[in-house]
Structure 1
């Protein structure tokens, strides 16, 4: 007889893992942004680095969320990671629209969602093999 943990890990979608992956990746993303803000404030680093580092931090967050989401699954790591990446980007877009009134829905959203799924799936493939 299998334990509840074994039955849970046999599921295709690891919903609790996806939620944990999102929470951890958002906390780490927030820490990276705080550190970057402090570096910008207290060093002569130019604000011209903002778009590049914002993109890099976001990519790390998406891949990390996918890896954590797929870590405890036995198969379909790409699916769990892709879903985590999609949710990461959707939540980031929602927060952007909510907190930054100038941010709105534009044509680039579809591209961001696609990249979120792709990067999350890559993270899921990494996470399932850890």
Structure 2
């Protein structure tokens, strides 16, 4: 039960970080001469950072199997992002580059998990 709570907390914290970073980026888009052509790259980077944060927190709290727990939390993180995107977007199409992004986010979660399990101080 404790691992499930840690998983939900890791997802919650990572979504909070994602929303915060997107809001910061939106402020930069609004008040600076930053080009809107960077939206795709920056949002993909922010989502990858969010997946890594989910993996980090999950592995940090569980203190073992960092890569496995990180990949699990990264996979759930991106799965819920896709579900939300599917519900919001009217003409949602699953494209080939989405598989690349999904794998990248799962691996980012695993890397975050490795870092998180190694940051744990006893």
Structure 2 residue runs of 5 or longer lacking an equivalent are none
Native 8 Å contact 2:47 2:105 kept in 1 = no
Structure 1 residue runs of 5 or longer lacking an equivalent are 1-7, 9-13
What is the correspondence of 1:1-130 to structure 2 with a 5 Å cutoff?
14-130=3-119
Q: How many residues matched?
A: 118
**TM-score of the pair, normalised by structure 1:** 0.82
Higher helix share: 2
**TM-score of the pair, normalised by structure 2:** 0.87
The alignment yields a C-alpha RMSD, in angstroms, of 1.5
Larger Rg: 1
